[in-house]
Amino acid sequence: MYRTGEDKTSEPEEKEPQGRGEGACVGLEQQQQGGLKSAVLGLACVLCHRADSDSELYGEKWSKDGLCAHENCLYLASRLPVRHNRHTGEDQFLPADIRRVVKQATRKACYVCGERGATILCRQKGCKHSFHFPCGSQDGCVCQFTGKYKSFCRDHRPEQTVEARQDEETSCLVCLEPVEEKLSYHTMVCPACLHAWFHRSCIQKQALRSGLFTFQCPQCKDTKKFLTEMSTMGIRIPIREPAWEANSAFDELYERHNQCNASQCLCPGGREQAEEAGPWHLLLCSSCAARGTHRRCSALRATRNTWECDDCAGLGTGKGSGADAHAGAPCLEASNCGKSHRTRERTQREAAPALTPVWAALSSGLEGGGSDSAGLEPAGQAGIQKLPAGSASNQERSASDRARHGS
């Protein structure tokens, strides 16, 4: 699926520090307080010597104890150990380790710009190339943001080797602009379907927005092969929820209806008063949950725990309908209620064949995970299983039909 040349040398294991070392850790926690944040954004990174603050390229910028660095520069710097704080769950870098790496880099010249202070080494065995992270990005180097955070220069970077052909002029599925005629550093293809072509910069932006949990091929929706290949090719996939779900964007979906919608609310406290029990207990529609009623406002018995609104149950059945609504009590609205029951049973029968394979897949996954949900019947499947033609129940039913029709 990809090639990297010879085997890479493994980086020596770093021992955990006995204490906190020199000063406090530089934790991955952005400075947010007003002027302090502005000051941090204006500081130059001690690892790449640039003050740029493009989070899509460099990641966030972090600062503490007089040291400022880009997130990506910290993770990719060779021989800079990452300390994981078990209490906060954050990755941290000791100032002493950062200063040591910076001092060692003064003897390394970037093969791209020629300046000293290159902290990233090519992990290909025998290669002497060193580079700054932004210089490597401009020259076509590949940095992997997973595992041991390996980096490779332009001569030894991994390349896609899948055999994929284009049909006439092919466009990027993300920006819809034309792509190159063959695979390259800037032009990539999905290893699963071999039909989804895209620019490296476009798929990188999509990865940053989607996050690990929703990032997939734009066309075939594959995740297994796609994630592995993109990570190997140097696409940074952050471990977080998608950006479109940030800042409580979907909080309204979790809000619960909290008022009585009866035509005449009898509650002294008003439509929004709700008690845990009694006549002013608020019941929500068991079908849509978008309308509610107090028990007394709809003349419901104290033992009733379910209710359906007129829109869901049909005209004249606003006081309750459906098998759950009766729960041991006789149906007082036989004509409308019977129609509702028949419609619901027909819907269950029609949906059962389509739901069965989906439920089987989910059940097998639950059983594999040790869930106590194994063995449950699929929704709408209970009571509608087809009996064999020669079963006793069918024979008895056939005899009964013949006797009734005089046959």
Q: How much is the mean pLDDT over the chain?
A: 75
Residue 167 has a pLDDT of: 81
Residue 26 has a pLDDT of: 55
| Per-residue buried b or exposed e for 89-111, using 16+ beta carbons within 10 Å of the residue's own CB | eebbbbbebbeebbeebeebbbb
Domain of 64 in residue numbering reads as: 19-112+139-149
3-class secondary-structure state, position 160: strand
What does the pLDDT look like over 358-369, one tens digit per residue? 434 444 443 444
Assigned domain for 166 exists:
yes
Which of 183, 218, 245 lies at the terminal end of a domain, its last residue?
Answer: 245
Indicate whether this model's pTM tops 0.95.
no
Residue 104 has a pLDDT of: 93
Residue 46, domain CATH? 3.30.40
Asked if 94 and 42 sit in the same domain, the reply is yes
- Does 277 have pLDDT greater than 90? no
Highest mean pLDDT: which of 84-93, 206-215, 299-308, 318-327?
206-215
Asked if 143 and 34 sit in the same domain, the reply is yes
Asked if 144 and 59 sit in the same domain, the reply is yes
Closest CA to 58 of 114, 136, 146: 136
Query: What single-letter amino acid sits at 365?
Result: G
Asked if 260 and 236 sit in the same domain, the reply is no
DSSP string, 244-283: GG-TTTTGGGGPPP-S---SS---TT-TT--BSSSTTBEE
Asked if 143 and 25 sit in the same domain, the reply is yes
**Number of domains composing the chain:** 3
Assigned domain for 108 exists:
yes
Closest CA to 44 of 129, 139, 112, 132: 132
Cα gap 160→400, rounded to integer Å: 70
Which comes out higher in pLDDT, residue 63 or 365? 63
Cα gap 208→56, rounded to integer Å: 7
Assigned domain for 228 exists:
yes
Asked if 174 and 290 sit in the same domain, the reply is no
What does the pLDDT look like over 2-52, one tens digit per residue? 333 333 334 444 443 333 334 445 555 444 444 444 445 668 999 999 988
Kindly tell me the sign of the dihedral angle through the C-alpha atoms of 112, 116, 121, 124: positive
Residue 322, domain CATH? 3.30.40.10
